[in-house]
Structure formats: C-alpha cells, structure tokens
Amino acid sequence: MIPKLMQSITLPVARAQASRRQFLLGALAAGTGIAVGYRVLSASPALAGEAETESGSHAFSPYLTIGGDGKVTVLSSQFEMGQGSYNGIATLVAEELDADWSTIDVIGAAGNIKAYGNIAFGGAMQGTGGSTSMSTSWERYRKAGAAARAMLIAAAAAEWGVDATEIAVENGVLSHPSGKSGGFGVFAAKAATMPVPAEVKLKEPGDWKLIGNAELKRFDSARKANGTEQYTIDVKLPGMLTAVMIHPPLFGAKAKSFDASAARAIKGVVDVVETPRGIAVVGEHMWAAIKGREAVTVEWDETGAEKRGTPELMSTYRDLSGKTPAAFARKDGDADAAFTSAAKVIEATFEFPYLAHAALEPLNAVARRNDDGTIEIWGGHQLPDVYQNLASEIAGVPVEKVRLNVMKTGGSFGRRAVFDGDVVVEAVHVAKALGFRAPVKVQWTREDDTRAGRYRPAYVHRLKAGIDEAGKLVAWSDHIVGQSIMAKTAWDGMVQNGVDPTSVEGANNLPYAIENQTVGLTTTDVSVPVLWWRSVGSTHTAFAAEAFLDEVAEAAGRDPLEFRLSMLEPASRHATVLKLAAEKAEWQKPLPEGRFRGVAVAESFGSVVAQVAEVSVDGDGIKVERVVAAVDCGLAINPDQVRAQVEGGIGFGLSAILGEEITLTDGKVDQGNFDMYTPLRIDAMPKVEVHIVASANPPSGIGEPGVPPIGPAVANAAFKALGKRIRVMPFAKSLNA
Amino acid sequence: MVTVKINGVEHKIEAEADMPLLWAIRDLVGLTGTKFGCGMAQCGACTVYIDGSPTRSCQTLIGDIEGAEVTTVEGLKGKVAETVQAVWADLDVPQCGYCQSGQIMSATDLLANNPKPTDADIDAAMSGNLCRCATYHRIRAGIHEAAKRLEA
Ligand code: FES
Ligand code: FES
C-alpha cells in the first residue's frame, strides 16, 4: 500500500506544520507517568529543528512514556491494522531500553509530522503503507529506547550517588553492584528531568535479546482472544449517535432530493442530514439508523455518473492491449528486432478484475466537537495528516485544533489510506450537519463497504515472448492497461511521463536477464474509484509475469525452476529464495499421485519471496494443499510475525484468485455482502511453511510481499493438474472458458 | 421489553422486537467483544452462545429470545475456553483480531463436542467464521494444540 517514492508529493499537509504537540503532551500528562525520548534523529533532517524549539527541561517526547508503575507505553507513528507494526516497533524500543516485555503497551500517535513523518516517504508526511513500518522505525525507535535507557541510568546514578557506567539494566530493573536496585517506575519521574543524550550507542546485534527472537510473543494477542481489544467500532462516547450513509448508487451520481419523513417517524431515528458524500441517517444506535435508512427515498442526479459495466470496460481494455502503449515504463535493447528474429514467439492475455479490500471491520469513524472548540476524530488514521487537514477544512477550524485518536482496526489492506478521507470526512460532515450537538459514529455496513468503491483497479496485460533456437528468452514485452491509482489525486506528481509507478511496479523491474524488453502502459479513464490493495501493482504484474514465464518455459521445453535460475545471478536474492523454496518443497523429487506443483518468485517493497504451491484436482477445479515459501526481507525483527504475515499474505492472495471479483452492471456494483463477494474460508486454506533467509541487511517490508507469488505459483501448478492456463481471474473464469 | 440473561446477569432490554441481538449487546448493553462483520450470518464475527449453542447474533432477533441465556466472549468460562484462549496467545493466532472473538466461540464449541477434531472436522466447524487476515493456518494449529493440552 502506498509506493515508497513519496518525496515529490505535494499535499495539503504542508499546512499542518504547527505541531499538535500540545495535545499530545496534554494527553500524556493526563496519565500517571512521564514521557521520555530522543529528539535528534540523524535519519530525519526534519527533526533537527525540533531540538531548538524544545527546552531541555521538558523531557516529554513523541516516542515513549514510562509510568510510575514502570509500564512502558510506546507511541507508534505506524498504524496497526493487524500486520504487527505495533509489535515490531515495541520490540525495537524494548530491546534498547532493556524493558520488561510483559509491561509493554503501544498506542497510535499522530499530529507531529517532524516526529512521526515516514522516513521512507521522505519524512514529509506520516503514513502507513508500502510495507515501510519497520524500515522507517528501525533507527528511530531503537534510538528512542536507548535514549530513555540512558536517562533512567542518569537518574539512578544521581539518586544512588554512583557512577552511571556501573549501573546495569535488565528486564525493566536498574541495579548497581552495591546491591541497590529499582524498577523503571521508581526513576521515571526523575529521568524526565535528565538531559536527552545527544548521541546514543545502539546495541551490537550479538547483544540482542528481542530483535530476531523467534520465541517472542506478540504483546497484544491475549486481548484479542478475550474480546477486550478496542477497535474504532467500539468507541463509545457520552451521548454518541450512530449514522449510516446512503451513498450514490453510481460512482459520480449526486443526490437531487430526498424524503426522510417516513424515516423520522421510526423510533430511535434522530435526524436525516445531507452531506457532500451522501445522505446520513442518524440514530440513537446502529439498528435505528439502519431501519431509518430503509425508509428514506432519494432522487439521484446521474448525469456524469459512470455507467459502463464490466463487460464494456474489459472489452475496451482488451482492444487497447493490442494497440501501441500510450507510455513506456521500460525499454531495453530492441524488442521488435528480437521478436522478428526469434525462433518462436508466444503471446497471452491476462485479465484481472476490480477487487474490494473487504476488511472484516467495515469502515467507520467517530467525530466530536469538544467544549474548547477542538474537533476530535477516532478512526483508522492510516494517513493522519491528510485527514487532519481535510477535517480542519470541513469544520472550519485551524489544523492544530483537529485531534486524531488513532484506533486499531479490523484489517485495512490499504483501504484506510485514502486521499479523500472518505469515512473520516463523512463523520465530520455529519457531526457538522448536526450542529455538533452530539458525537457521531459513522458506521458502514458490509454492503456499503463493498459498494462504495476504492478497489484494486481492473487490468489487462498482453504479454509476448521470443525464444531463440537454444530455448533462451531473447525478447519480452508486457503491455498493461488499466486505471491509475495516483493520477488526479494529491499524488498526481508521482505520475511521470504517463507512467503511474503503482501500475507497473513488479513488471518493469523483472530480475531476469532478458536483453530486449519493453513494459508499456495505457492508462484508462474510468470513474470507478481505485486504491492500493495489499501489494498494489504486484497483485497483477507478478501474476502476469510469473504465469507467462511458465508458458515460455513450457514452450522452450525447460523446467520452470531451472529456466528462472538460468536468467538470475546465482548469488542474487531471487535465486537464493527460489533455491531455498525448491529445496524445502523437494522440487527435484516426484510428487505423489494426484499432486502437482508450480513455482513463482516476486519482489515487492524491498523483499523477495518465492513460493512453491502444491495442488490436487478437486472436481472441475483444484485444491491448494501446501505452500512452501522462502523469504528475504532483510533482518527479521520478529521472525514469527514475518511468518504470520507470509501465511496471511498467502491466504489473502489465494482468496483473490480463487473467489474475489467486483463486477459492475451499467455502472452499478453487483456484489454486496459475503454471499456475493467471497473471501477465502478455512476449508480452502493450504498448509503453509515459511522459511526465512538469514540476513543482516536492514529490515524491508513484510506486510505485503507474501501476496504476489501465490497466484502465479498456483496457476502454474493448476496447468500441470488440469492442462489449462489460468489467465482470467478469478480462476473459475479460466476453467469454465 | 425483553428479559435475557447475558453472561449470567439479567438484562431488561428496552428495544423493538426486531432488533438483532448483536446491536442490543453492543449498543444497549455495552459489551463490545461481539463484532459486526456482515449482518447476514456470513462471517461469524458476531457469534455468541444462546442456551449453550453457537448462534449468529446478527440474525437473532431480540424479540425471539425472551428468557434465553446468552454467553458472549466476555462471559466465556471453563477449561476448554480458557485453554483455547491461552493457546491463541501462545501461538499468536490473531492478526487484526477482529474475527477472533467469533473464532474462539466456534473453536471452544467444537472442542467441547469433539475433543480430538481432525483437520476436516475443523474445516467443517470453522468455515462459517471468516478471517480476512487469513489466520486459518494458525487457527487449525491452535485447535489441535488446545486438544492436546486438554487431553493431557
Ligand atoms: S455479523 Fe453476524 S455473521 Fe457476520
Ligand atoms: S485476525 Fe483479522 S480478520 Fe481474523
């Protein structure tokens, strides 16, 4: 979600300069503890100015607090949607702090770009995406932990009248050879008054106890097993009302008029108000709002709305894929000449539908105006600065008067990182339309969540390959047709020479030595709202490339694994993960009767993942029995969470190719609930094995990279099982074709 | 007005008879462990026990359960449930966790009725519980591990 090259973006965010430190500090001061941290971070020049504006006597800082009870609370710049970013960041802090892991908690933080700006995005905005949470936090949060540790030591040294170098810290306890000892809580208050060290020395890898520890458990699993974890849907405020939206039935339609008289007569319905994003039915509780909604009639103005359906769009895309691309993302050698002289040329077209994120918690947000005039918003703030700015405009208050409470959410997969703030904006609009007389939660239903847009765009890929007499791949072209995610948004500046990098990532950086290749792009103009969906461009580019490569290997009469390895440097990351996955899956050994396998490899967000999928025939289709994955994600901070993300990524990717599709009929979305939009269930989940390549490189992404290889690996295995190439998603469409 | 016992406590619920139990539990009683995912018995996030049987609370009308005993994840007790919950934490089964109240309710019921479930038993008993994070691999492992601990 969200590409990594964000340096050039221009956002309304620049106006959010005035830090909301006051709010943050206020919130922290309300607790029992103190806040300590590290204010000068070499990795982020934006932070250099921070030290000047801050007097050394106030030791509060943006990254962690320690309570009088010794409890360490980490303030995370990265949003938690299930991917374990909080746990990873807590690991970094606790490692350098020598904290007691059982006392760690993490809360989401926002409103201080200097402190929380995503370094991988250039530091100019806070945001979670592109699987960057560990890379942006790697130095920042270890230094925060180390600085706090030094301050605690300084406080204890002063208290005990001993030399700081004689103090040891372990498991949340400071001790001195004289026998003196005390927990973090004892020294927390005094430590807050200690100067923040200008330099801290980080531990050597050999001294790590938590980083890289495969036995370390997530700090937040127990609360998820007993129902106490709090999500946005669980926010409850005094007097809070609940609203459901009536969105336009077509993308681009607008409400002309509405009749809410019947709705207002329903018990529990409080009001029906209009917002720029649709009509909101406000109730005392969710059920009243839902019932009220059924009673509202709306007349829509559909001029200018998108009225094309999936059949029309896909046939246009297919036609375009046969024409010359509008732009090129890669041109190596002379592909045209190489195709002409090739001994054999093969071609194939791949089709990918729109996909919904379908996080299990339907989108929601809560907004309230406080007595002091501030606007407070609870939600899954994946792009907090953007939402803060949008809310400030709507509510007509300065940005620093918008407070964000970053809640955990039941999934996101990219869906809560939106340019227009959709549900967050709705909550503020509805609260405003009610004259801010009560806090309002806007809660989408499943149908709203499925139908309100922001899909993985639909794409068509036309691929062509030329092989020489010796079976060597000498020419390759990939023409991608589909919508741009970033064009005409605040991210428009990312589109260079007609190429949205999110449309071509994974296609224009193939690792294989192919002398002559082109990657073309034709961006279509369709008013269906689109968005990044876990692993973004690689959701389709990796499928097209790796499934087609299998067809090429077949045409060349070569083993798919050997064929790939022959085009890779033997010591490359791609070759390494391919060989590891193949070895663990026993690629060279014949499979039992009725089992078939396929392989694929893909790089995304700095990590490389290979997967070998093993399938059996099941009726007209296939059943995926087992997947062996090998991963190079740099240093694995939480190896077991790396495994979890790859397991989940495999399930998520498999879900899409086996059973997910958003289709439109005359512009209207056909699917609504999980009876029509059908994510993977447990009975279709294969056994998964994940092997991690030992690496000392800085951590790269892991939330997304598990997704791309599964589709092609399974498609390649399915060909062996069924003799049919899978080129149209979801799978059943290829099998029935 | 409907009287139900929720987690052993009697509640007099002031609501229209057609209100789904899910919203009564969440919005009127104020217990939020039971989750809303679909509202049409498709995802299992809202699973509670009614008189001991796992039920989708989003499709259960409050007017139909006068006098019933409802158990939500907050009221889950006993050796099987506690073992399942402990295993869930030990194996780090949850990712976002949003589906997990429902998963735990279903898994506990499965193990209470079938102390040694096979993979096929698990798939059959748990396929009504969607997990969009696809923690299925660990859910299966978790149920096997809980069965093992309960046998010991
Ligand atoms: S919310 Fe009841 S089954 Fe999904
Ligand atoms: S853990 Fe996220 S939906 Fe199951």
Q: Which residues of chain A have pLDDT under 70?
A: 1-61, 737
Nearby residues of A24 by Cβ (< 8 Å), 6 or more positions away: A62, A75, A109, A111, A112
Closest atom of ligand 1 to B46 CA is 2
**Within-domain flag for A2:** no
pLDDT at B89 over 80: yes
Chain B residues with CB-CB distance to A226 below 8 A = 33, 73-74, 76, 85, 104
- Asked, for residue A92, whether it belongs to a domain, the answer is yes
Task: Quote the DSSP letter at residue B28.
Answer: I
Question: Is residue A8, in this structure, part of any structural domain at all?
Answer: no
Contact check, Cβ <8 Å, B94/A685: no
Together in a domain, A281 and A327: no
**A12 in any annotated domain:** no
% residues pLDDT > 90 (chain B): 99
For the residues of A351-415, what is the DSSP string, one character each? EE-BB----SS--EEEEEE-TTS-EEEEE--SSHHHHHHHHHHHHTS-GGGEEEEE-B-S--TTT
| Contact indicator for A502, A486 with CB cutoff of 8 Å | yes
Instruction: Name the domain count of chain A.
Output: 3
In a domain, residue A55? The reply is yes
A633 and A730 co-located in one domain: yes
A244 and A200 belong to one structural domain: no
Name the residue of chain A whose CA is nearest to B24's CA: A287
The residue from A160, A191, A225 where one domain ends is A225
Residue A737 is predicted with a pLDDT of 66
- Residue after which a domain boundary falls, among A190, A225, A260: A225
Domain shared by A105 and A248, yes or no: no
* Predicted ipTM beyond 0.95: yes
C-alpha to C-alpha distances, B73 to A227, A310, A409, nearest whole angstrom: 6, 42, 19
Same domain as A246, residue A168: no
Query: Does residue A647 belong to any structural domain of this protein?
Result: yes
The residue among A269, A270, A287 with the most chain B CBs within 10 A of its CB, best to mutate, is A287
For strands A375-379 and A402-406, give the pairing. Answer: parallel
Contact A201/B at CB under 8 A: no
Q: Are residues A407 and A525 in the same domain?
A: no
Q: Is-contact A475 A339, C-beta < 8 A?
A: yes
Confidence of residue B11 (pLDDT cuts 50, 70, 90): very high
Backbone phi, then psi, for A617, in 5-degree steps? -85, 135
* Residues on chain B touching A414 (C-beta within 8 angstroms): none
Cα–Cα distance measured from residue B33 to residue B10, given in angstroms and rounded to the nearest whole number: 18
Nearest in space to A351 (alpha carbons), one of A387, A319, A325: A319
Tens of pLDDT, residue by residue over B130-152, are 999 999 999 999 999 999 999 98
- Percentage of chain A exceeding pLDDT 90: 86
Please tell me whether residues A76 and A198 are part of one structural domain: yes
Asked whether residue A11 is domain-assigned, the answer is: no
Give the residue-averaged pLDDT of B12-27.
Answer: 97
Nearest Cα neighbor of A37 from A45, A46, A27, A25 is: A25
Domain extent at residue A106: 18-225
The CATH number of whichever domain residue A530 belongs to comes to: 3.30.365.10
Query: Taking a C-beta distance cutoff of 8 angstroms, is the pair A633, A705 a contact?
Result: yes
pLDDT digits (tens, 9 = 90+) for A560-592: 999 999 999 999 999 999 999 999 999 999 999
Peptide bond between residue A730 and the one before it cis (omega within 30 degrees of 0):
yes
- My answer on whether A659 and A638 are in the same domain is yes
Domain end residue (candidates: A190, A205, A225) = A225
* pTM, to two decimals: 0.93
Query: Which residues of chain A lie closer than 8 angstroms to B136, CB-CB?
Result: 651, 680-682, 685
Q: Name, in order, each residue with C-beta under 8 angstroms of A435's C-beta and a sequence gap of 6 or more.
A: none
Structure confidence by residue, pLDDT tens digits, A665-684: 999 999 999 999 999 999 99
Q: Give, in order, the Cα–Cα distances in Å from B1 to each of A320, B19, B62, B65, B82.
A: 62, 11, 9, 11, 34
A25 domain-assigned: yes
| Distance in angstroms (rounded) separating the CA atoms of residues B44 and B103 | 8
Using alpha carbons only, how large is chain A's radius of gyration in Å?
27
CA-to-CA separations, A386 to A65, A430, B134, in angstroms, rounded: 26, 19, 30
Q: Strand ranges (DSSP E) for A397-512?
A: 402-406, 440-443, 459-467, 473-482
pLDDT of amino acid B111: 98
Same domain (yes/no): A258, A295: yes
Please list every residue in chain A whose beta carbon sits closer than 8 Å to the beta carbon of residue B76.
226
Q: Which atom of ligand 1 is nearest to the CA of B35?
A: 1
Please state, rounded to an integer, the average pLDDT across all residues of chain A. Answer: 91
**Residue A623 to residue A658: CA distance in whole angstroms:** 10
Same domain, A204 and A237: no
Give me the residues of A, 288-307, that contact B with CB < 8 A: 291
Of A15, A3, A170, A19, residue with least CA distance to A99:
A170
Domains of chain B by range and CATH?
Answer: 2-75 (3.10.20.30), 79-151 (1.10.150.120)
**Sheet strands side by side (includes A327-332):** A327-332, A516-523, A473-482, A459-467, A344-352
Distance from CA of A226 to the nearest CA of B (A): 6
Ligand 2 centroid – CA B43 distance (Å): 11
Distance from CA of B151 to the nearest CA of A (A): 21
Both A285 and A419 in one domain: the answer is yes
| Residue A501 and residue A410 share a domain | no
pLDDT in the model for residue A460: 98
